[in-house]
Chains A and B, each alone.
Chain A
Amino acid sequence: MSAARRGYRGLLLLAPRELRREHSVEMEELFLEHLAAAHAAGTLARAAVWTRAASDLVRARLGSWKPRRRLVLTVPIDERKGPMLGPDLHYALRSLGRQRGATALVVFMLALGIAANVGVFTLVNGLFLRPFPFPHPERLVYINETAPRWNLNVVGINYPDFDRWRKDMKLFEAIALYETGRYNLSDGASADRVPGVRVTYDFARVLGVSPILGRFFTAEEDAPRPRAVAGGSAASPRPVAQVIVISESLWSERFGRAQDVIGKTLRVEGEPRTVIGVMPAAAAFPDDVRLWLPTNGDPTREGDSYSGDGIGRLKPGVSVADAEKDLTRAHQPIWDTRDKQRNVSPFVHSLREEFVRDYKTAASTIVAAVAILLIIACANVAAVMLARALARRREMGIRLALGSSRIRLLRQLLIENLILALVGGVIGLAAGQWAIGAFVAMIPEELPRWAVFQMDLRVVAFSLLSIVATVILFGWAPALHAVGGDLRSAVHTSTNGTTGAPRGRRTLAFIVGAEFALAAVLLVCGTLLVKAFDRVRSVDPGFRSDHLLTFTVPLPDPPSAAQPRFAEWLAFWDQLNERTRQLPGVDAAGLVSCAPFGGCHLGNFLNAENAIPRPDGKNPVILTRVATPGYFEALGSRLKEGRFLQEPDGRDKRVPVVIVNESFVRAMWGEGAKGAGRRVKFNGDDSPWMTVVGVVGDVKHYGLERPMRPGIYLPAASWPQSTMTMAVHTQVDPASLAPAIREMVRAMNPELPLVALRTMEESIRRSMALRAAFSWMLAVFAALAFVLAVGGAYGVATYLVTQRTREIGIRVALGARTPDIFRSVVASGLGIVAAGVACGLVGSAAVAKLLGDALFGVSPHDAAVLTFVAVVLVGTALMANGLPARRAARIDPMRTLRTE
């Protein structure tokens, strides 16, 4: 390719795009012909050809702009008074179309603000506002028992108590117990562990959901089951068949929705049960439930055993407070007989309250954050619109002169604003829904199953409301300044004049200051939360959490068996331990009944020999666990005194031993006491004394942020369990052992499911998932607010500089020097920002306090964070003002004074 052709190709970039696209090759040919013709005439002629070619292209480009450049005076000629939507709309659209850059920016910022708000509102709607999918959900309440003296807000329900309530209650239509669990469901070849729930027979009635096939339990099917009596006397009650109700999803999966499923048999925990009903998908409460079993609770059972939750349906018109009084009244006989000290009492909450308690702080914070983000976005839009409005004062003045009224002008501005808000709102709505989908996909297990995050009527209404709010929020500034004041004189000044600007300038300055104040608040909160998250993450769990794998094996424990198969279980656990230790890459392994970060808990009361008197009379609940030798080594527990469990422990019933943790020693025998060698026992006169042979360091069992309570470990040989969790310490990457472990368990018994096989680090990560999501969401919003605020400051500063071009030109002409100009521009901008940031920091201290527990290990007045935010904000504001200031300082007075 010749140099000339290449050169012309370069010049072609000046041409309008369509022309270039269609005809570039031909244009090149024509040009080369002209060039060739001029070749003979000499260098000057050739230069002339190049020049002519360039100007030809430029003229074409200018010509292509002409239709759009037609300025201002295409006003609606028909300036009649009265509403005329059509021309107003047309005018508004044209006026917005003229400044595509500004319009796009405005729509983008509005969409951002509205998307964030719609997304958060959908979350809030799903969690807090949308009613449960049951009939009259407002009448559903949560019931349980509380024992403040035992350090427990929620104890669980004692079946005899529940029975008493059920007999005596007056204000409830029905109450029911439920206890969730996972159950082995097998059909001989393979085993599944499915989520299910044990319920009393009235459960379906409380929920108000009927089976789609068959029926729910009768009172007889829920009667207590006697342990089989040897010989089976005639006086024993007729044995009732074991029954089960399955879920719609289970019905689909296992029976293909066959109509004859009623009467079929399923093996649950190794025991056959007859299917008597199928429940619809809507009955999934409290979580994913695939089967229902009767509780077979025994009201005559002695002793205190508290577990499970309760749910009730109030009679119409009964309040939650009255319901609680009713239950308390029904509970009175129990206080009179069994619980004279009134340690335990029933309580009633609204059902919704119970399930979202965990999310309340997080949700309110996010809602507030996102509202602030929207305000900042609107403030930015207001600033942009204000700048435009001030520039259009001349146009407005002309129209006023042509006979329009201020009302009409205002109305048209309002329509423009509405269009912007609507377009931004629609885009924001779509973007918000997408964001919610992404968010829900990120933390699926943490969110309750019944929460539905979808666009419903409420979400759409909220979005429309936000749109209207944003119009008001950003529309006031430009409307006021465009249409107020002395418009007629605006006609005479050039658009670069400063007439009418002082009010506008003050408003702009106020907007920028407010944005920075709000951004400061958000940034402080976001930084604090991120810092708190980091603190939580670096909490020492009390054991070695890397290279650690855990899994749970539930052995079948059917309630109808004559006696729990203790010996079988022990043999199985011994074998499992041995085989696991033989796997390649395994350093140590051991079993425990309840592993850290597993969400499990079993509490008991213990007596300690020579215990110190307790200051407030509170008897602490002791976390009771059962472990095999090897567990402590596998976990990497820290030995403080004595020794870990060993093989002989528990096998000789005459020498009961236990291991306790440091909190136990401290609670029972005081600070600095030694625990080894002391004796403890369970409540009850015939419980044997057990000797403490070792003290281990506390393990953060309930979560990195939750405090640990006193704990005790019993040897598994004396306390056989049907379900235990294996902790495996590996030399290699723990996840790599998963297939080998699965194979090992399957080889031992193919009907046994392997549950929750994961690394400890994964478990810990899951325990923090909610906090992570919450903190990072807030941080993202804070970052967005920061970007918006700085962008706004830059835009405003630039605009103000162009407004003051004439003034600056005069000052330079009068002798002001570059540094002076620079300093004055920056100083005026920075003053506002500093004031805004200061207000924001002060406000943030108050706001941060509202975050409460979320600020783990971090004070709301953290000086480092406050300083950091102040420096970042003021620093970037400095840059945002500095760039236009530099441009201002370089203004050539000759040019500015000339172009008037």
Chain B
Amino acid sequence: MAADGSLKPHWFYILLALAEGDRHGLGIARAVQTLSDGRVRLWPATLYGSLDELRQRKWIEELSRRRDQLEDESERKRYYRLTRAGRQILTAEADHLGRLARLARARLRADPGEVG
């Protein structure tokens, strides 16, 4: 958890990427890049370190067999799936961010001159 109690940004994006469906590591990285409009680039150690940590917390799980056999040949590709707990966390975080966003918009409309 980040200092203010919300989910670390990396983790949020990874969970988000998995919400659309099971992916392997490389796929997650690409999805995150798309989802964040190119702003968030996951580097290998960070990505796989986070995946391991998320797996330890049981927010994602690793699939024992590749689902999509057309995708690639390498046996090393591991597929990940969002767990129910992970889905709940993601939803909670999305709600939280949504509230923050509404709050920010409300403040900005009220005081256009202040930065808030």
Contacts and interface: CB of A to CB of B under 8 A. Distances in A.
Interface in A7-30: 15, 18-19, 22-23, 25-30
A18 B24 CA distance: 19
Contacts, number: 57
A339 interface: no
Contact of A60 (B25, B46, B76): B46
Contacts of B47: 27, 30
A56 interface: yes
B63 to A, nearest CB: 14
A194 interface: no
A25 B74 CA distance: 9
A28 B44 CA distance: 8
B75 to A, nearest CB: 9
B45 A26 contact: no
Contact of B26 (A18, A26, A53): A26
Contacts of A25: 74, 76
Interface residues of A, number: 21
B52 interface: yes
Interface in A287-328: none
Interface in B34-55: 41-49, 52
A57 interface: yes
A27 B48 contact: yes
A776 interface: no
Contact of A33 (B29, B48, B76): B29
B76 A53 contact: no
B70 to A, nearest CB: 18
B78 interface: yes
Interface in A39-80: 52-53, 56-57, 59-60, 63
B102 interface: no
What is the interface of chain A mostly: helix, strand, loop, or mixed?
helix
Contacts of A27: 44-45, 47-48
Nearest to A24: B76
Contact of B41 (A19, A28, A34): A34
A799 B47 CA distance: 42
A118 B63 CA distance: 55
A23 to B, nearest CB: 4
B77 interface: yes
A26 B52 contact: no
Contacts of A18: 52
B38 to A, nearest CB: 10
Given A19-B48, A19-B52, A22-B48, A33 B26 contact: yes
A26 B41 contact: no
Contact of A56 (B26, B44, B76, B77): B44
B49 A60 contact: yes
B74 to A, nearest CB: 7
Nearest to A57: B45
Nearest to A58: B45
Given A30-B25, A33-B29, A53 B44 contact: yes
B49 A30 contact: no
Given A22-B48, A23-B25, A60-B49, A34 B43 contact: yes
Contacts of B45: 15, 19, 27, 56-57, 59-60
A856 interface: no
Contacts of A34: 41, 43
A646 B103 CA distance: 128
A510 interface: no
A53 B42 CA distance: 10
Sorted from nearest, which 6 A-B pairs have the closest CB atoms? A27-B44, A60-B45, A56-B43, A23-B48, A25-B76, A26-B25
Given A22-B52, A23-B44, A34-B43, 19 more contacts: A18-B52, A19-B45, A23-B25, A23-B78, A25-B74, A26-B76, A26-B77, A26-B78, A29-B26, A30-B25, A30-B44, A30-B47, A33-B26, A33-B30, A34-B41, A52-B43, A56-B43, A59-B45, A60-B45
14 contacts: A19-B45, A19-B52, A30-B25, A30-B42, A30-B44, A33-B29, A33-B30, A53-B43, A57-B45, A59-B45, A59-B46, A60-B46, A60-B49, A63-B49
Interface of B: 24-26, 29-30, 41-49, 52, 74, 76-78
Interface of A: 15, 18-19, 22-23, 25-31, 33-34, 52-53, 56-57, 59-60, 63
